[in-house]
Structure 1
Amino acid sequence: MNRLSLNQKTVDSCSLPEAVAACTRAGITSIGVWREPLHEYGVEAGAALIAEAGLHVSSLCRGGFFTAPDRDRVLTDNRRAIDETAALNADCLVLVVGGLPPGSRDLPAARATVADVLADLVPHAADRGVRLALEPMHPIYAADRGVLSTLGQALDLAEQHDPAVVGVVVDTFHVWWDPDLERQVARAADRIASFQVCDWITPLPADALLARGMMGDGHIDFRRLADLVAAAGYTGDVEVEIFNADVWREDPDTVVATVARTFAEHVSAGATSSR
């Protein structure tokens, strides 16, 4: 439990104060914060609230969408996200890099855009002491959310920069299927900025974005993945991030209790180091 972090999206109906209170009641000491509810509450007020509750911020979600047509707007928003990450003293800013631009079928060009925008943001992140975390996404999201589909692709970009400034997210939902996963996690080593867990459930819902299940409800071997990440040297928080309409309809305290139970049953035996 000392490594469990509750990503705020798992209790999507909660405001920031409600999510903080749910963590406190459950004895969870880390939280992954989302920008929208943070903005609603206020960045400075949110940082103070979290600090007063004694919570550690494992990540801020999210920056990215680098492939959008308005480059100036993309850079402005992501620099703002970097500043917010610094204000929260969060471990990293998670980057969902974006899908194909409107009307495009050119994946190589979109990936080149991601590399260019990342390079533009690195100096500001370094100046603010913020770690950017590239999140590879399952290939079903390549068109609309993430043109980086494998951990290897994310590492190819990250390795062009200081590991203290650019790392990667290992999210079980997005990488569990990868036949090269063992080699790529070992390669990631000190670039693993965040380890996120949830299950892959079938049949997929009509909205594939909401296909994340509670640990143990689907097909992922969490202990194998946790062992791989631990062997690579990662000792940080393990963040539970679930997008699921049925989970979101449940009472948040019930959801948090289920998160803690299924984390203990399916994940924590492979994640024994302390932060």
Structure 2
Amino acid sequence: MTASPATPRAHSPLLPGPGLELLALNTATTKNWTLADAVAGCVEAGIAGIGLWRDRVAETGLDQAARLVRDAGLTVTSLCRGGFFAAPDAIEDNRRAVDEAAALGTDTLVLVCGGLPDGSRDLPAARRTVAEGIAALAPYAEAHGVRLAIEPLHPMFCADRAVVSTLGQALDLAEQAGHGTGVVVDTYHVWWDPELETQIARAGAAGLIHAFQVCDWLLPLPADALLGRGHVGDGSIDIPRIAALVAEAGYQGWTEVEIFNQEVWDTPGTETLRTLTERHRRFLAAGAPACH
């Protein structure tokens, strides 16, 4: 007799710790941890959400990664990243990213759109390439139950990482692409924008805020500007104010902590999570005061 396939066991969602409701760890914050380490750390700290980077998923294997997170009762809040639309294999790689997001059980694929092609100074052409790439990818993503989330990056990354620099630009692209495409509001990248309040309200009114990520802006900037991010409350950004704007715009999703910082990476992961949860409770939990 041939045995029937086993029915997958249902797993209860992890109950978050007090004051940590809708807090998520982005795995970039604990760069030196494996995915298994990050999952175990979240469970121990009472963090119920986890934002995954594709490199950590690839190290573990897609099926095993999905199983690890599911068995722990964690919610995959996003997958990072798709984008870089000027790359020769952009279409194939972005479709793989959509497939991975669907397999991992998240409906949000973060797009970092890419900078200028090597040797190019044609910024308008690079932006057209991004718009065309997103428009081509959006129907595929929608068909797989995945929302594209365009992340504008601070203008200092325009040449190498993202020719999309403002929330307004990202929203224009999202609206043009349709098929459920929206945006990421990342405090590190958008805090400086004089139109931030208007654009967050615009995004909220259209239901296009798909992800909210937080970290602070530290001075002096390090030699590698990518690593100038810090824990909430350590830098120049009024993060509670931006969180309030996002909430007022109708966003009710997760708050992902995504920090690129060598000192943070060199800190034991359990200590990083203790700081992360303490700051969330102090500055971003319900009733928390603004940080000035």
TM norm structure 1: 0.95
Q: Within the alignment, does 1:99 sit opposite 2:115 as a pair?
A: yes
* Displacement over 6 Å in runs of 4+: none
Q: Within the alignment, does 1:227 sit opposite 2:222 as a pair?
A: no
Q: Within the alignment, does 1:214 sit opposite 2:226 as a pair?
A: no
Alignment of 1:1-275 (within 5 A): 1-68=20-87, 70=88, 73-162=89-178, 165-189=180-204, 190-269=207-286
The answer for unaligned runs of 5 or more in structure 2 is 1-19
Larger radius of gyration: 2
In structure 2, how many angstroms separate the alpha carbons of the residues matched to 1:111 and 1:254?
41
Say which structure, 1 or 2, has more relative contact order (CA 8 Å, 6+ apart).
1
Contact 2:200 2:249 survives alignment (8 Å): yes
Give 1:214's aligned amino acid.
H
Report the RMSD for the aligned CA atoms in angstroms: 1.1
Q: Secondary structure at the match of 2:183?
A: strand
TM norm structure 2: 0.90
Q: What's the CA shift string for 1:82-113, capped at 9, x where partnerless? A: 00000111131000000000111111110000
Q: What's the CA shift string for 1:186-236, capped at 9, x where partnerless? A: 000110000000000000001001011111110110111011000111000
Give 2:31's aligned amino acid.
D
Q: CA deviation at 1:173?
A: 0.1
Give 2:168's aligned amino acid.
G
Q: CA deviation at 1:268?
A: 2.5
In structure 1, how many angstroms separate the alpha carbons of the residues matched to 2:76 and 2:247?
20
Contact 1:197 1:239 survives alignment (8 Å): yes
**What is the percent sequence identity of the aligned residues?**
58
Contact 1:227 1:270 survives alignment (8 Å): no
Q: CA deviation at 1:270?
A: 7.0
Give 2:200's aligned amino acid.
V
Contact 2:107 2:145 survives alignment (8 Å): no
Matched with 2:10 is none
Give 2:29's aligned amino acid.
T
Q: Secondary structure at the match of 2:79?
A: strand
